[in-house]
Structure 1
């Protein structure tokens, strides 16, 4: 098993004179730990020399040469361990606080507060650009809001650039696709782009990324979203919905500035100095207009009404209800603490004699047997009667049947409004606090998930009116067939499973845009199947693997979430040396497990890096060059070897 940095750097140990307290986070090029020395805190960023050292030297070169306001400061650096150095360690100042996006979630700011955060950040960029330095990975997660004074602090110059800094190959600087400018996307998709040619990132690209940040803070959604291929097309079109249209609480002047930042060059804001002047004018306007003081999203207060209001509209004007829901915004701010209710004292027994559990079971057994018997007979009788009933007749003229026509801004062909938000928003059939967060919990063995899809002919949503024939059947005995299905399903779940005949999964095409993303954006080699040459690969541990053990682990059909162990490197030599990082260590891979007759197959369709960059991919699990993992004899649960390779492919076999 490959040793990870977390296996070596443990809380309490001393590294280069700094005592480690805990891990703070991870990015594409390093992992950061909180440490202490001489009674003061600092942040240690560990950068692996062999795999991503070039990026570390760039960051060190930039930070050694300059100090900027509202930019994290470099305190020191060293190589570690001293005997055989494997890591470059950057000692940075510790900024206690949260990311800019988390600050917005927690505080639910008004428009004025957004400008007050962006103005010092823009001044910092003005100073950075004046020294010919470019950050090149500007996003909300790379801006921290200081806990002490609320000042924004720009962090992580690992992808930065300046004249004289060590050069690193790559068509584009590593960054989240949502923050790339139309010019960068056009360069990436250019047919005549030469091999090894790099995009000339500029100040205008940086300001476009800042425009994306402003859009997210103001509306809680990205200006463009969707799968990578669709996302690139939308960025190229460059026509985002104005922030004040998405969110009526956004002042028109702030919305226009945001669109100016997201405009195609040369119509975009030209430099950070111009942006600072525009933000200063907005602050003056904000002082004279009370609308700038209104929180941009609903808070956890009485004005934050959600779909819990549905009963007052559904059945009367469902279209108005849907329009109302679409205008809702996700809740921000800290929810109020739930009321503390003292448990009621237990009631004393009616008599002095309390029957034991065994006595109660013995008394209830005949009743339970009778109830189960009657239920089985009732289901069978209901099914027979149900078959004799005539089919439901079509509604007579004048009978109220509501057909819900969707409003213009809501289309089933577009991404659902509750799916495009940065922060999780409830769909219209449940309140936002009904479910847990979107991040899947880690489990030893993921539970199988049943998915439901609409038929290809479904084009609109319908709701049956109260009093209609279908509604009466739901309340009466007309839905006997559905009841029988439920009863059969329940009986099947309670019964012992019989022998299963497993089949090999059918071949399947890769997700749309996955091959292009892997080859052109990530630089992966898919290999040559006809000659038996396999493409680039990484390594993963299956859920349930015990540390230091290669004991087989049980698996099930259904969704799977895995984590890369080590970097997914591309362009390495036969000894695994050189190359560059396509997906960093700790990248979360999501997909599906399919259990065949003799092997278990894993199909990976999404990769999310520790920095939050999301890619649509097409990968399969391999074991020693063979597709799938061999099922090991056990006689009970399906078990496989706990370590697997993950390889980039051009189709699922």
Structure 2
């Protein structure tokens, strides 16, 4: 679409008797708006006829002839504007709700709840396929979960096909590569493919895409991901990591069904009817197995880890792994409401109790110092990954819960279940002493401290003093406290740490698809952005940054399809779009990973971008300034298929 048409349809305007309220979404075939007429809501899909061509009529052709269960209904259609039509407008029922992927992120469902969502969707596909219709763009974002009853509703037949529908050119249907099966990839890569030959999309391709959806819902990652060339090879090889291995909360039977959907054509689930039978069988199995009721991901806690692929850093660089693990934000469930704790009023002063209070404070102060020191030490210990040795040391505290399957050396193991999960179950409740990380070549260093009478000079105390009495007992309380504080503080400061580059990581689910399909951004595309605190005018003055969450502002509108002179493009991200993500500071550079874009109108998009300097190098060079870490105020953001 051309830039000049971006604001043709705007909130508040009237279109053939419908009042436009707001935009609901946009895709490769048009934009969808919430509209009202005669007090009733509906969804208007605007398809630009010149840009989309015959593709726009295919959806109308399919929806006019059929009324499927759990499929969005077509109410009417018209051309607009009336005097000189440029758009085909489809009037569809409005389905208040969120996408299937967003539903999973918001509700953190159990395995049983996933099956309950997939079963009616599979029944709808059974009816669709019975009428020789193929959706050809099945993905989590094309399934809405209706607010009223929680039912899944299949939307967007813009890429659909059926006998008699208008024919269009193209070797493959315009679906995302992440959802394409090995048969489609084989056709695409075949050297003997004739010019103009089109792939015969089948029911098997539809079921493969449904298997990808199930995999993402169960594990929060795609079965295959990465740059296109690697992705094509992985799809052809067809050996995804089983969902129950990637996430041990996934029941084995559900994992096997998912792999059955992702198998090669001769081993795949044959049709939607067979899939319905399999899902019904799983629901019966779920009634007798409590594992099916466990949420598939951790809830919204500070250190709750998601089910992303287990990093290979475990056992090699545990500190780097843990830094990466701590930065993981929970992706499923809603954050709890903040608790308001009313503080008790202080006791009124009493003259008679002053001597006793003085004694209590005098004795409590060393204990308070010890507690503070212990907290500092424990805080650092939780920053180290030190699993206990297989043979416990006498007197040593060891964790009572095992590592999850993702990190276990002995195979899959179910995660422990708690009503309120505030920490991963494999984290030791206390710091262990000298425990070697799993598969580590060198045990974790243990620092001990001994106070020798030959190295410490003490003042002589008067006979009968409190210090003298303590000396006659089991030793000075103050000295013991100092030893304890020094020990934990020494544990908390093992020496200078060399900050390293962030470890590779997969993009958020659906990010690559959003950038390439919805925004039409090619991977590797770059655009300028302003760091926080950067002046609006051009200035080389460096700005301070710190590790953690960051929000940048897009500098100018991001356009696609421009010519050599920068003309004729389409704005996909307007000027002022906010880009949110995380900064990681290494020894010499600052690295940034952007995972969300929010436009000035409030549209929120999941993206996958990295920060680059304007010379084309990943990351931004650090320029220390009196202890502060500063960087150049202007950077580039680059679309990527995976964080390096």
Q: Is it true that 1:50 corresponds to 2:50 in the alignment?
A: yes
- Contact 2:24–2:34 (Cα < 8 Å) also in 1: yes
1:467 aligns with 2:447: yes
The equivalences for 1:523-542 within 5 A come to none
SS at match of 1:165: coil
C-alpha change, 1:325 and 1:2, in structure 2 (3 Å) is closer
Q: Tell me, in whole angstroms, the C-alpha distance in 2 between the residues paired with 1:608 and 1:193.
A: 39
Q: Is the 8 A contact 2:305 2:330 kept in 1?
A: no
Q: Could you report, residue by residue, the CA deviation over 1:577-610 in whole angstroms, capped at 9, with x for unpaired residues? A: 9xxx9x99559999xxxxxxxxxxxxxx999999
SS at match of 2:160: coil
CA contact (8 A) 1:4 1:565 kept: no
Compared CA separation, residues 306 and 166, structure 1 to 2 (3 A): closer
Q: 1:586 to 1:639 in 2, by over 3 A?
A: closer
Q: Residue in 2 aligned with 1:265?
A: 265
Q: For residue 15 of structure 1, what is the aligned residue in structure 2?
A: 15
Please name the residue that 1:348 is paired with.
Answer: none
- 1:76 offset after TM fit, Å? 1.3
Contact 1:12 1:19 in 2 (8 A): yes
Asked if residue 155 in structure 1 is aligned to residue 135 in structure 2, the reply is no
Report SS of the residue matched to 2:32: strand
SS of the equivalent of 2:141 reads helix
Q: How does 1:445-460 map to 2 (within 5 A)?
A: none
SS of 2:260 mapped into structure 1: helix
Instruction: Determine the C-alpha separation between the residues in 2 that align with 1:223 and 1:93.
Output: 33
Structure 2: which 5+ residue stretches go unaligned?
308-313, 346-402, 409-422, 428-438, 450-485, 500-511, 580-593, 615-631, 639-644
Shift of 1:20: 0.8
Distance in 2 (CA, whole Å) between partners of 1:463 and 1:31 is: 58
Asked if the contact 1:539–1:565 (Cα under 8 Å) also holds between the matched residues in 2, the reply is no
Q: For residues 162-205 of structure 1, give each alpha carbon's deviation from its aligned partner in whole angstroms, at most 9, with x where no partner exists.
A: 11212222222112211110111122222222333222111100
Q: Are 1:297 and 1:329, in contact at CA under 8 Å, matched by a contact in 2?
A: no
Aligned residue number for residue 289 of structure 2: 289
Call closer, same or farther: CA 1:54–1:340 in 2, change over 3 Å. farther
TM-score of the pair, normalised by structure 1 = 0.55
Residue equivalent to 2:181: 181
SS at match of 2:79: strand
**Quick one: distance in 2 between partners of 1:343 and 1:195?**
77
1:86 match: 86
Q: 1:288 is paired with a residue of what secondary structure?
A: coil
- Which structure 2 residues correspond to residues 125-164 of structure 1 after superposition, within 5 A? 125-164=125-164
SS in 2 for 1:8: coil
**Whole-angstrom distance in 1 between the partners of 2:21 and 2:80:** 17
1:23-172 pair list within 5 angstroms? 23-172=23-172
Q: Is the 8 A contact 1:107 1:334 kept in 2?
A: yes
Per the TM alignment, residue 83 of structure 1 is displaced from its structure 2 partner at its CA by 2.1
Q: Is the 8 A contact 2:269 2:275 kept in 1?
A: yes
Equivalent pair of 2:530/2:633 in contact (CA under 8 Å): no
What is the correspondence of 1:146-545 to structure 2 with a 5 Å cutoff?
A: 146-300=146-300, 332-340=332-340, 465-467=445-447
> How far apart are 1:344 and its partner, in Å?
12
Assess, with a 3 A threshold, how the Cα gap between structure 1 residues 290 and 539 changes in structure 2: closer, same or farther: closer
- After superposition, the C-alpha distances for 1:344-403 in whole angstroms (9 at most, x for unaligned) are 99xxxxxxxxxxxxxxxxxxxxxxxxxxxxxxxxxxxxxxxxxxxxxxxxxxxxxxxxxx
The alpha carbon displacement at 1:248 in A equals 2.0
Whether contact under 8 Å (2:303, 2:424) holds in the other structure is no
Does the 8 Å contact 1:123/1:273 carry over to 2? yes
- 1:543–1:304 distance in 2 versus 1, CA, 3 Å: closer
* CA deviation profile, 1:3-61 (whole Å, cap 9, x unmatched): 45452322211111110111111112211111100101011111122111322111111
- Aligned positions, number: 454
Instruction: Give the secondary-structure state (helix, strand or coil) at the position aligned to 1:258.
Output: helix
Contact 1:144 1:152 in 2 (8 A): yes
Shift of 1:337: 0.8
| CA distance in structure 2 between the partners assigned to 1:198 and 1:611 by the alignment | 35
1:205-260 per-position Cα deviation (integer Å, ceiling 9, x unaligned): 00000001111111222111222221211111111111122222222211111111
TM-score (structure 2 length as normaliser): 0.56
Secondary structure of the residue that 2:197 maps to in structure 1?
coil
User: Given the superposition, is the C-alpha separation of residues 408 and 212 from structure 1 closer, same or farther in structure 2, using an over 3 Å criterion?
Assistant: closer
CA contact (8 A) 1:126 1:272 kept: yes
Counterpart secondary structure, 1:46:
strand
The answer as to whether partners of 2:132 and 2:163 remain within 8 angstroms in 1 is yes
Distance across 2 between alignment mates of 1:101 and 1:166: 31
Secondary structure at 1:186 match in 2: helix
- Report if aligned partners of 1:2, 1:565 keep a CA contact under 8 Å in 2: no
